[in-house]
């Protein structure tokens, strides 16, 4: 079974990297074409789409780098491996998108104040090719979109396809009506749409880096699942976080009846299996505590009680009273 999982993992890795390389190659061809024709036709929409596609090439390249890094074995210092590289990549990609969107929006507003004639036919033709290429790459990445790293690259390509559709519509409007404001207006809408779409990934990546409880997991439900195991009395200090995209870890204190170590080991095994099966938590760290010995009073109060027990005849000294013999 382990060998089969390894083969499946290797095949998934090769398939993912091939799709990402395809996205990079097609993206480079598209950007060169859009820049050349955008300059020739004086189309801000085409140049904006070219800038967006250039950012996507970098984004897909970062995603490809993250896929390579995630495959690396853990080290003595990075004991959890390199799963967070994909999260950092997704965050960098999305922040980069927002910056580009702001530049596009600014340039669109400036162009509206000084609108220039644009070749509608050139805009339409290039946008049609871009729509086909971006849609093809997005479909290639669709299967792996559950991974936040790949999801960021997939979202880039989906946005590219929608942006290309908007540019295509602008080309049609210019051809039919000669209304040249359609070009910067579409560029402005592109910028707004990019910011809206990128915000979701920024939020998800930030939650993971802050080690928030994953949205797919309800902490109370996890606690109930652990406490449903025979022998478990209670659970406290429970934490669940995401190591990488879809890889969950847990730590917690589990109170059990007074029993032998071997029995506690079997209980921990049951807990680990339930967490894996029900929540896909693959890195549980459980501290077993004896329920009868678990103090229920707050820590400061316990410390005071311990000090009083350790020094039953001690009396507090009062400043300014008494003297040494």
* pLDDT range class, residue 140, cuts 50, 70, 90: confident
* Residue 160 CB partners (closer than 8 Å, separation 6+): 49, 52, 53, 56, 130, 134, 138
Look over the chain and give the mean of its residue pLDDT values, rounded to a whole number.
Answer: 76
The dihedrals phi and psi of 255, each to the nearest 5 degrees, come to -90, 130
Give burial (CB, 10 Å; 0-12/13-18/19+) of 128.
middle
Sheet hosting strand 247-256, strand order edge to edge: 232-244, 247-256, 281-290
More confident residue, 18 or 325: 18
Tell me what the mean pLDDT of segment 33-54 comes to.
Answer: 76
Q: Is 165 found in the same domain as 224?
A: no
Q: Is 136 found in the same domain as 284?
A: no
Strand segments, DSSP code E, in the chain are: 232-244, 247-256, 281-290
Q: How many Cα neighbours within 13 Å face the side chain of 154? A: 15
**Among the listed ranges 29-38, 189-198, 300-309, which one has the minimum average pLDDT value?**
300-309
Q: Is 200 found in the same domain as 103?
A: yes
More confident residue, 314 or 252: 252
Q: What percentage of the chain reaches a pLDDT higher than 70?
A: 79
With respect to residue 10, please indicate whether it lies within any of the assigned structural domains: yes
Q: Is 111 found in the same domain as 233?
A: no
Which CATH number do you get for residue 255? 3.30.70.1350
What tokens does 269 get?
């095994």
Pairing of strands 247-256, 281-290: parallel
Which CATH number do you get for residue 43? 1.20.1510.10
Strand segments, DSSP code E, in 150-301 are: 232-244, 247-256, 281-290
Q: Is 144 found in the same domain as 283?
A: no
With respect to residue 200, please indicate whether it lies within any of the assigned structural domains: yes
The dihedrals phi and psi of 287, each to the nearest 5 degrees, come to -105, 115
Domain boundary among the residues 172, 189, 209 is at 209
Cα-Cα-Cα-Cα dihedral of 138, 139, 144, 145, to 10°? 50
Range of the domain at 272: 219-309
Residue 325 pLDDT > 50, yes or no? Answer: no
Residue closest to 37 by CA, chosen among 107, 156, 136, 121 = 121
* pLDDT range class, residue 250, cuts 50, 70, 90: very high
Q: Is 233 found in the same domain as 194?
A: no
Please state the domain count of the chain.
2
Q: Is 271 found in the same domain as 141?
A: no
Length of the chain: 325
With respect to residue 314, please indicate whether it lies within any of the assigned structural domains: no
Residue 131 pLDDT > 70, yes or no? Answer: yes
Contact 108, 101 (CB under 8 A): no
Q: What percentage of the chain reaches a pLDDT higher than 90?
A: 7
Residue 218 pLDDT > 80, yes or no? Answer: yes
Q: How far apart (Å, rounded) are the C-alpha atoms in residues 59 and 39?
A: 24
């Amino acid at each position: 079974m382990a060998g089969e999982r390894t083969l499946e993992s290797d095949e998934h890795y090769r398939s993912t990297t091939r799709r990402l390389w395809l996205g990079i190659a097609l993206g480079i061809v598209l950007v060169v074409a859009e820049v050349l024709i955008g300059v020739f036709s004086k189309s801000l929409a085409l140049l904006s789409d070219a800038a967006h596609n250039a950012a996507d090439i970098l984004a897909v390249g970062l995603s490809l780098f993250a896929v390579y890094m995630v495959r690396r074995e853990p080290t003595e210092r990075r004991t959890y491996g390199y799963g967070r590289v994909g999260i950092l990549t997704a965050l960098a990609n999305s922040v980069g998108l927002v910056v580009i969107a702001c530049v596009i929006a600014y340039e669109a507003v400036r162009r509206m104040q000084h609108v220039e004639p644009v070749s509608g036919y050139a805009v339409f033709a290039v946008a049609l090719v871009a729509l086909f290429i971006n849609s093809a790459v997005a479909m290639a990445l669709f299967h792996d979109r559950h991974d936040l790293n790949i999801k960021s690259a997939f979202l880039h390509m989906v946005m590219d396809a929608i942006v290309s559709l908007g540019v295509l519509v602008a080309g049609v409007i210019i051809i039919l009506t000669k209304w040249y404001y359609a070009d910067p207006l579409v560029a402005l809408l592109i910028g707004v749409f990019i910011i809206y779409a990128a915000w979701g990934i920024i939020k998800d990546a930030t939650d993971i880096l802050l080690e928030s409880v994953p949205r797919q997991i309800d902490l109370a439900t996890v606690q109930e699942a652990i406490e449903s195991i025979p022998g478990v009395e209670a659970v406290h200090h429970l934490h669940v976080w995401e190591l990488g995209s879809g890889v969950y870890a847990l730590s917690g204190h589990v109170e059990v009846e007074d029993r032998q170590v071997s029995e506690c080991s079997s209980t921990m095994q049951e807990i680990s299996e339930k967490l894996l099966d029900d929540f896909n938590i693959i890195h549980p760290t459980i501290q077993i505590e004896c329920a009868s010995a678990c103090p229920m009073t707050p820590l400061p109060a316990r410390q005071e009680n311990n000090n009083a027990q350790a020094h039953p005849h001690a009396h507090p000294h009062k400043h300014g009273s008494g003297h040494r013999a």
